[in-house]
Structure 1
Amino acid sequence: MYARIFGFAAVAACLAMPVSAAISLGEAAGSYTINPAASSIRFTIGKAGGGGFDGAFGRFKGTIRIDNSDVGRSKVDFTIYPESVGTGQGRIDAFLRSDAVFDAANSPEIQFRSTSVTRTGDTSALVAGRLTARGKTFAEKFTAEFDGSKGGTIKFHVTGKVLRSRYGMDVGTPLYSNIVNFDMSLTGKRS
């Protein structure tokens, strides 16, 4: 009888557990290389009176290391190549690559290196780090939501807001917003 009660309690506990908790941190722990073919980095910039534009970066690379003994020691390193920016409008793409915005010829990389990872929920974390663009480095924060793990891959949905003026990219303000909204879907392959 005790075995039956214990078995029922164990099943009830498993059912009460969030689905995401079914994958233990130990199972997800390890090092991953971002797969650009299965990932995307999108952004939007609003415009006064509505509208604005959105775009994406076609070239990027990165790694994610999840530490199962201390989530705070997990690491994210990311590099975006601004010459790969695309909005679907050639004139805007050329302008974004120019020295008025990304200065891709002289600053060919945008880098993010995490300094801390803080768990904020069962499937979410706040990733703080240093973002470097156009030779300027500032602290930035992004929210990462765990989207699952399967067959040696891991998925995250990452969002954040960056002030472009900090990096000398404030051309067009205040007509165009100073805030760049990032929306990223990242898939990593265990390395």
Structure 2
Amino acid sequence: MSVHVFGRVLGAAALIAVGLLGDTASAVALSDAAGRYAVSNNGSSIRFAIGKIGGGGLSGAFGQFKGTIRIDGGDIARSKVDITIFPESVGTGQGRIDAFLKSDAVFDVANSREITFRSTSVRRTGDNSAVITGQLTARGHTNTEKFTAELQGLKGGQIRFRVSGQVFRSRYQMDVGTPIYSNIVAFDMEFSGRRG
């Protein structure tokens, strides 16, 4: 299993994530959300899942991360997303699996304390959606990943996005357990941030 998925998801996340209370996605356009937002752990989440032959699989989340989202109202393509994930915070609800994920077999948290995503391009796909492409770095390996993002709400200077994507674990030397466990990590992320 791996944070690489994070890469893909982050990429997508890079562009955005979750819905805001009382707002509907159709009522808010990316161009209305111009500004710089700091991602808050409160109201945000980075979840991942890895399939397994015969069913089941593994799922979990990262409890600690930070980031900024800058939306250019004049040209969405010039928007930027920066996300940092702390793999030490990975959690699956099973202590033995968490310890394995933190070991040098997967995230190697003793030597690789951060996973980062830095957007390189944003391509608008609708009034409130975009594809975010960027560089995902984990365990010293950097690859280009893509994520899809959807603006879910904007109210009182607070924004919410939903981001999703898939990352190949093998690209980050985290493909232990394949082919029994899928090489693909699916990310489902929600980001909440305040303009400022």
TM range (shorter): 0.7 to 0.9
- Equivalent of 1:187 in 173, 177, 192: 192
Bigger relative contact order, structure 1 or 2 (CA pairs below 8 A, ≥6 apart) = 2
Structure 1 stretch 132-141 or stretch 22-31: which is displaced more? 22-31
- Equivalent of 1:157 in 157, 162, 175: 162
CA deviation after TM superposition for structure 1 residue 27, in Å: 3.4
Q: 4+ residue stretches of structure 1 with deviation over 6 A?
A: none
Distance in 2, Cα, partners of 1:49 & 1:183: 22
Instruction: Provide TM-score, normalisation by structure 1.
Output: 0.88
Structure (1 or 2) with the larger CA radius of gyration: 1
Unaligned residue ranges in structure 1 (runs of 5+):
1-18
Task: Give secondary structure in 2 for the equivalent of 1:131.
Answer: strand
Amino acid in structure 1 at the alignment position of 2:120: T
Amino acid in structure 2 at the alignment position of 1:40: S
How many aligned positions are there?
173
Unaligned residue ranges in structure 2 (runs of 5+):
1-23
CA deviation after TM superposition for structure 1 residue 167, in Å: 0.2
Measured on the aligned residues, the alpha-carbon RMSD in Å equals 1.2
2:115 equivalent to 1:110: yes
| 1:121-140 → structure 2 map (5 Å cutoff) | 121-140=126-145
Distance in 2, Cα, partners of 1:53 & 1:21: 34
Percent identical pairs in the alignment equals 68
2:185 equivalent to 1:176: no
- Equivalent of 2:104 in 96, 99, 103: 99
2:65 equivalent to 1:60: yes
Distance in 1, Cα, partners of 2:68 & 2:41: 11
- Equivalent of 1:50 in 28, 42, 55: 55
Task: Give secondary structure in 2 for the equivalent of 1:166.
Answer: helix
Distance in 2, Cα, partners of 1:103 & 1:23: 41
Structure number with higher helix proportion? 1
Instruction: Provide TM-score, normalisation by structure 2.
Output: 0.86
